[in-house]
Amino acid sequence: MSSKPTVLFLSLDEKPWFDEMYSPLINALADRATIKRSRSSAQYLTTSPPAAVLVPDVGIITNQDAIATLKTYVANGGTAIFGCTFSSFITPLAMAAFWKDNFNKPWRSGNYTRENVQLDASVAASMKSGDALADTYSQKALFLAGVKKTEVLYGNSSEAAIVWAKYGQGWIGYIGDVNGEKGSDDVIVAMCGL
């Protein structure tokens, strides 16, 4: 029997209620992977690279060492997913600067709204388990503007609620959902390659 892949939660500003609010996601990941947590640095990425990294909060945006290590991990073929409370606690100015300065992406905060979002099957096809995702679901999200159509996994006609984009040899994901909907949990599991 092969061992489970590892998913690292890089939680540099974890909220005390995180595990309770996101227990369905944590359980879904734990069923398929070993979960490791780092609350202070990204050092684990250089010693034992995981299958994927979930960045569930905004603590990383002020930690240049963690950002640099994460960028190298992704550029060399890793996967980093920015979700959970990330979109709830980042300011619009910080959002634009984070993507531009660190990943050379023109992404910026868009509308904050609840709506049904549509899957782009051509983007999902680049994911190991993308064919298992719902065609549409409702979520309250901080959408991103300035995202290329080829990077919009779920969105509306003009903005992205969920992004899946190539960076170097790896992938970055953004989940704008602020409520931890089941559809978004399924997307995170798929982005992790599980």
Q: Confirm whether 143 is domain-assigned.
A: no
Per-residue pLDDT at 2: 58
Q: Confirm whether 11 is domain-assigned.
A: yes
Q: Confirm whether 133 is domain-assigned.
A: no
Q: Confirm whether 155 is domain-assigned.
A: no
Q: What is the pTM of this model?
A: 0.96
Tokens of 40: 């202070």
Range of the domain at 86: 6-109+162-191
Q: Confirm whether 102 is domain-assigned.
A: yes
Low-confidence spans in the chain with pLDDT less than 70: 1-2
Query: Cβ of 157: how many Cβ atoms within 10 Å?
Result: 5
Residue type, 25: L
Enumerate residues 6+ apart whose C-beta is below 8 A from 180. 21, 22, 24, 25, 84
Q: Confirm whether 86 is domain-assigned.
A: yes
Per-residue pLDDT at 1: 46
Domain count within the chain: 1
Q: Confirm whether 136 is domain-assigned.
A: no
Looking up residue 69, the CATH number of its domain turns out to be 3.40.50.880
Q: Confirm whether 166 is domain-assigned.
A: yes
